[in-house]
Copies of this chain bind each other. A is one copy, B any other.
Amino acid sequence: MTIGPLSKQTGCNIETIRYYERIGIMPKPPRTEGGHRIYREEHLKRLTFIRRSRELGFTLDQVRNLLMLVDGDDFTCDEVKTMTLDHADDVHRKIADLKKMERVLKDMVSQCNRGDVPDCPVIDALFQTRACLS
């Protein structure tokens, strides 16, 4: 399988696959005489793993760690569980932050019922020093 089909099967951009190789989270695959990359099932699996982890919001650094655990196959289920829980916490905090943001934005807008007067409560709110978030 060349890079094109791999790209199609994983939904991962060709440039991105080459980027993953460059930064070392995908292995350098064998090549044809002419220099084209040839991938096999194992590459497909690994790239799927990476994409899936990224979809779930793991950073490439976290993915790297997960892959090290997998590669070493001396990982403990516990290590992986811990990483995942930590990450779940991050996501949870992010949700909370965004909810605050949303509330503030909606509040600002709800102050606004005038049509086209150049005296806008949203703008006023943005000029407030008081941090509503945090």
Please list the residues of chain A having a beta carbon within 8 angstroms of any beta carbon in chain B.
45, 48-49, 52-53, 55-57, 66, 69-70, 73-78, 80-81, 84-85, 87-88, 91-92, 94-95, 98-99, 101-102, 104-106, 108-109, 112, 114-123, 126-129, 131, 133-134
Copies of this chain in its oligomeric complex: 2
The smallest beta-carbon distance between A26 and chain B, in angstroms, is: 15
Cα distance A85–B122 when bound, in Å?
11
Cα distance A45–B75 when bound, in Å?
53
By a CB distance below 8 angstroms, the chain B residues around A99 are 95
Known A49-B126, A91-B98, A91-B102; contact A120-B55, beta-carbon cutoff 8 A: no
Q: Are A55 and B98 in touch, CB under 8 angstroms?
A: no
Cα distance A120–B95 when bound, in Å?
27
A-B contacts, 28 listed (Cβ < 8 Å): A48-B128, A49-B127, A52-B126, A52-B127, A53-B126, A55-B133, A57-B98, A66-B126, A69-B123, A73-B118, A74-B118, A75-B118, A76-B115, A76-B118, A77-B114, A77-B117, A77-B120, A77-B122, A78-B115, A78-B116, A80-B122, A81-B109, A81-B120, A84-B105, A88-B105, A88-B106, A91-B102, A95-B99
